[in-house]
Structure 1
Amino acid sequence: MKPIDSTNQAKPPLPLPVRQSESGRQGWLFGALLLGLVAASFLSLDLQWAQFLSRDAISRMGGFMAEFYPPELGITFLHKVAIGAWETLAMSALGTLLASLAGLALALPAARLHQQDRAWARGPSRLLLNALRSIPELVWATLLLISAGLGPFAGTLALALHTTGVLGRLFAEALENAAPGPAAALRLQGVGEGRILLWATLPQVLPQLLSYALYRWENNIRAATVLGVVGAGGLGQLLSFHLGLFHMPKTATLLLAMLALVLLVDAGSLLARRVLTR
C-alpha cells in the first residue's frame, strides 16, 4: 500500500479578490445623488440667514413671543377650549377608524396574496389609493365644506379620505409581505381563499396593521388642528379666530391645549404599540 503523497493533494483555491457588490454601488450612487440634491437646494433657494439671525429680527420675534404671556385661564374660555379639544380628538379618532376600515377593504384587491393570484384589480385599486393620499387633508376639507357645511363633519371626512389612501397602501404591502407558508399549507388542503385570509394571513399582519393605524391617528391629531383653520371645527377653528384678532393670551392657551392633546395621544399610542408587539 503506497503512502499518501500530501504534495499531490488538491489544494484549496485561492480566495478571489473581494469586489464591491452591485447593491453597494447603488447605495453609494444614491447617497451621492441625495447629497447633490441637498447642495442644489441650498444654492437655488434664497435663504437669508443673515437677516433671519440679525439682532433686529431676534428682538422683534422676542417681543412678539412676549405677547403670548400670560395665557388666558378664565373658566369660560377654558370650557370652550375643552370642547374644541374634544372635537379635535373625536375627529381624529373617527376619521382614523373609518380610514382603517376603508383602507383594509381597498388593500385586499390592491395586494397579490400569492404567486398564482391574478390580482386583476391590483392596478386600479392602487391607482385609487394614490389619488386619495395625493390630495392633502386641507384640500379635501375645503371641497367637503361646500357640501357638508362648516363643522367637524367635513373635517372628519377629509381625514378619512386622505388617511384611507395612506393606510390602504401600507396594509396592502403588509399583506403581500406576510409569510406564505401557513396560507400555502391551507391552500393545499383545499381551503377557500376567504378562510385562508381570515385564519392564516390576517393573524400574521394584524399587529402591524394596528401599529400603522395608531401611528396615523397620531398624525391625524395634528392634521385635525390644521383643518379647523378652514372652518372644520375643533381647536384649529378657535385658533384661527383668536389669532386673526390678535388675542395672544387666548392663542397661547389654545397652543398649550394642542400640545397637551398631542402628548396625550402620542403616549397612549406608544403604550398600545408596545402592548401589541409583546
Structure 2
Amino acid sequence: MKPGMPPPPPRSIGTPLLLLALLLLVVASFASLPLQWAAFFTPEAITSAGEFLAGFSPPEMAPAFLMKTLVALWETLAMSLVGTLLAVIGGLLLALPGSGRLGAPLRVPVRVLLNVLRSIPELVWAALLLVAAGLGPLAGTLALAAHTSGVLGRLFADALENTEPQPEAALRNNGAAPLAAFLYATLPQALPQMLSYSLYRWENNIRAAAVLGVVGAGGLGQMLKYHLSLFQMQSAATVVIAMLLLVAAVDAASFALRRALTR
C-alpha cells in the first residue's frame, strides 16, 4: 500500500458463503431427484415419442376449423391485453403507497399485498375465479390481472423509489403542487422503465393466457385441452401452431415498441 493511501475495505465473507450455499443447493437438488436420464434415451422411449409426434401430422386445415382457431386466438390475445392493462392500472395504484409516497405506514401492508398477489400463480387465480366468474375468458382475464398487478406493482414501486428526488423537491420548493411535481419531475424519470416492464409482462401474459385455457378460461388453451383429451392430434397441432405464431408476433411487436421507446 502506498503512503497516504487509505487502507482497503475489509473483505466480506457474505458473498462467498452465499455462492457456496447456492452451489450446495444445486447439488442437493440433483441428488434428491430421481432423474432417470438413461430411460429417457432408450430406443423404446425414442420410438414412442416419434410415434406420438407423428400423430400431429398433418395439421387440420379445414376452413371451418381455421376460423374457429382464429376466434380462439383473438380471445387469447384479448385476454392478455385486457389483463395487462388492468394490471398496469392496479400496479400503478399500488405502487404509489408501496413506494412510500403516501406515507410510511402504508408502505409495509401494501408491499405484503403485492407479495400475496404475485406469489399466487395465474393458474391458481384462475381456478379460484372460475368459481365466481364461471367458465370463459373473464376468469382468465381477472387471473392475469391479479397476478400481474402484484408483479408490476412491485416493479413500479422500486422504479419510483430509485428516481432522483431533487427535481421534485425543487418544484415543490418553488410552489408547485405535490401532484404536479410528481407528474412533471418523478414520473418522467420512471416512465420508460415502467413501460418496458409493462411490455415484458404482456409478452409473458400471452403465454399465460394460452395456458389458462387448460382450466377452462377460454382461448387457445381450452381448444388445445379439448382436442388433446379426445386424441385429435391433428387439430391439436393446428392450435399449437397458432400459439407459436401468436407468441412470435407479440414478441416482435413488443421488441419494436421497446426499441421505439428507448430511442
Q: Deviations over 1:219-275 (max 9, x none)?
A: 000100111011111000100000000000011111010000000000000110111
Supply the AA of the counterpart residue of 2:203: E
Cα separation, 2, equivalents of 1:144 and 1:15:
64
Q: Determine helix, strand or coil for the equivalent of 2:24.
A: helix
Residue 27 of structure 1 deviates from its aligned partner by 2.8
**Map 1:161-240 → 2, pairs under 5 A:** 161-240=146-225
Instruction: Give aligned pairs, total.
Output: 262
CA RMSD of aligned residues (A): 1.6
Residue 29 of structure 1 deviates from its aligned partner by 2.3
Structure 1 residue corresponding to 2:128, chosen from 143, 160, 178: 143
1:81 match: 69
Cα separation, 2, equivalents of 1:145 and 1:229:
12
2:11 match: 21
Which deviates more, 218-227 or 177-186? 177-186
Q: Determine helix, strand or coil for the equivalent of 1:121.
A: helix
**Map 1:44-59 → 2, pairs under 5 A:** 44-59=32-47
Cα separation, 2, equivalents of 1:20 and 1:44:
38
Which deviates more, 250-259 or 129-138? 129-138
Supply the AA of the counterpart residue of 1:13: P
Supply the AA of the counterpart residue of 1:140: W
Cα separation, 2, equivalents of 1:21 and 1:210:
39
Q: Is the Cα contact below 8 Å between 2:76 and 2:206 reproduced in 1?
A: yes
Gaps of 5+ in 1: 1-11
Residue 143 of structure 1 deviates from its aligned partner by 1.4
1:8 match: none
Q: Is the Cα contact below 8 Å between 2:92 and 2:153 reproduced in 1?
A: yes
- 2:100 paired with 1:112: yes
1:5 match: none
Residue 20 of structure 1 deviates from its aligned partner by 6.3
Cα separation, 1, equivalents of 2:261 and 2:38:
49
Cα separation, 2, equivalents of 1:26 and 1:219:
34
Q: Determine helix, strand or coil for the equivalent of 1:58.
A: helix
The percent identity for this pair of structures is 60
- 2:249 paired with 1:264: yes
- 2:13 paired with 1:31: no
Q: Is the Cα contact below 8 Å between 2:97 and 2:103 reproduced in 1?
A: no
Which deviates more, 189-198 or 82-91? 189-198
Task: Give the TM-score normalised by structure 2.
Answer: 0.95
Residue 19 of structure 1 deviates from its aligned partner by 6.8
Cα separation, 2, equivalents of 1:127 and 1:192:
30
Gap change, CA 1:95 and 1:50, over 3 Å in 2: same
Cα separation, 1, equivalents of 2:39 and 2:65:
38
Q: Is the Cα contact below 8 Å between 2:100 and 2:106 reproduced in 1?
A: no
Structure 1 residue corresponding to 2:141, chosen from 156, 179, 182: 156
Structure with the greater alpha carbon radius of gyration: 1
